[in-house]
Structure 1
Amino acid sequence: MTPTLRPAVPADAVACATMHAACWREAYGPYVDAALLEERLGDTARWTAAWTRHLVDGPPRVLAEADGEVVGFAVAGPAREEDPPTPYELYAIYTRAAYWGTGLGQELWEAVRPDGPCSLWVLEANERAQGFYRRNGFGPDGARELYAGLGAWEIRMVRR
């Protein structure tokens, strides 16, 4: 079934936390230490609590659903950095690996794309994700930092 998009609501927190963790395994597994990744994903209650908090207090999140299962999401909002290069930031965009290359990520991006310049952080080693962002007008701006939670380097990409 073709996924459909809809706004996320607080009742989605458990399903979203489960999907988000699965996306991390699929997207980050090739690039980070497996034990560290599983340590970060092991506290399912923490993931559910974070999703609940974000769905109540955070910017709107758009979900992709297929056959009643959440298979992706995206969220953008005001830049979170102290001295941001752009007024907006793409906080997250994920789909399950089965949907990579289907256009679902593009649909999610279109659903949350801000009306002004936007930045994001992406794992430096993740060429697949960087290619997606390049196709959508993003380019590296030279900023790089260690994502300590995963022990992996990230780069910032900006879309003017």
Structure 2
Amino acid sequence: MPDWRIAPLTANRVTELAACHIASWREAYGTLVPAHILDGFDLERSAITWERRRAEGTHHLPVALAGDRLIGFASATDSPAAESELEALYVRSAWHGTGVADALIETAAPGSPCTLWVFADYPRAHAFYRRHGFADTGIRRADPFTLLPELLWRREPG
């Protein structure tokens, strides 16, 4: 039995999710994303964005909890008429390799089809998503936040 659990995001955990999001970015992308971008995160503004998504009910927002501490989360669009998009999947680095991310992706975006954008120069994420049935579509863009190159990946039905 793991020493963590998956639960839905509740209003009292939104700021904790925002803090986890910021910390996870700094842990995962410290050598990829310029420091001035990582230093520019604003906890209050991030919490407002996550609360809006939670309140609107347009996203699946599972969180991973170890005891009472939020250690990861996922965000996927929830649209019965359209393909879902996994917009975020972050787990604190101390919990990498424990199965937390596997449980989060399966809770946020169960089944198929689904898309996601991933940094082009992030092989760890590429291996993870490949293991979950995603493949590079060949579509490219510049990430709107960092301007780094991103790849569109898709998980097909099946």
Q: Say yes or no: TM over 0.5.
A: yes
Paired residue secondary structure (1:133):
helix
Q: How does 1:49-88 map to 2 (within 5 A)?
A: 49-57=48-56, 58-78=58-78, 87-88=83-84
Q: Contact 1:76–1:114 (CA<8 Å) still a contact in 2?
A: no
**Aligned match of 1:21:** 22
Aligned partners of 2:86 and 2:100: how far apart in 1?
16
The answer to whether residue 119 in structure 2 is matched with residue 120 in structure 1 is no
Please tell me whether the aligned partners of residues 77 and 114 of structure 1 are also in contact (alpha carbons under 8 angstroms): no
TM-score normalized with structure 1 length:
0.88
Backbone CA RMSD of aligned residues: 1.6
Cα distance between partner residues in 1 of 2:7 and 2:150: 29
Q: How does 1:37-52 map to 2 (within 5 A)?
A: 37-39=38-40, 41=41, 43-52=42-51
Map of 1:82 onto structure 2? none
Distance 2:53 2:101 in 1: 20
Number of residues of Structure 1 aligned to a counterpart in Structure 2: 152
- Cα deviation for residue 148 of structure 1 reads 3.4
CA contact (8 A) 2:60 2:78 kept: no
Deviation at 1:115, TM superposition (A): 3.5
SS in structure 2 of the partner of residue 139 of structure 1: strand
Q: Which has the higher contact order (CA 8 A, sep 6+)?
A: 1
2:133 corresponds to 1:132: no
Any runs of at least 4 consecutive aligned residues in structure 1 with deviations exceeding 2 A, and if so which?
113-116
Distance in 2 between residues matched to 1:22 and 1:151, nearest whole Å: 20
Unaligned runs of 5+ residues in structure 1 are 80-85
Q: For residues 106-133 of structure 1, what are the alpha-carbon distances to aligned partners after superposition, in whole Å with 9 as ceiling and x for unaligned? A: 1111112233311100011111011100
Contact 2:138 2:152 in 1 (8 A): yes
- Residues 85 and 114, structure 2, Cα contact 8 Å, conserved in 1: yes
Identity %: 34
Please report how far the alpha carbon of residue 67 of structure 1 lies from its aligned counterpart in structure 2 after TM superposition: 2.4
Q: Which moved further from structure 2: 113-122 or 99-108? A: 113-122
One-letter amino acid of the structure 1 residue matched with residue 22 of structure 2: A
Give the corresponding residue for 2:10: 9
Stretches of structure 2 lacking an aligned partner (at least 5 in a row) = none
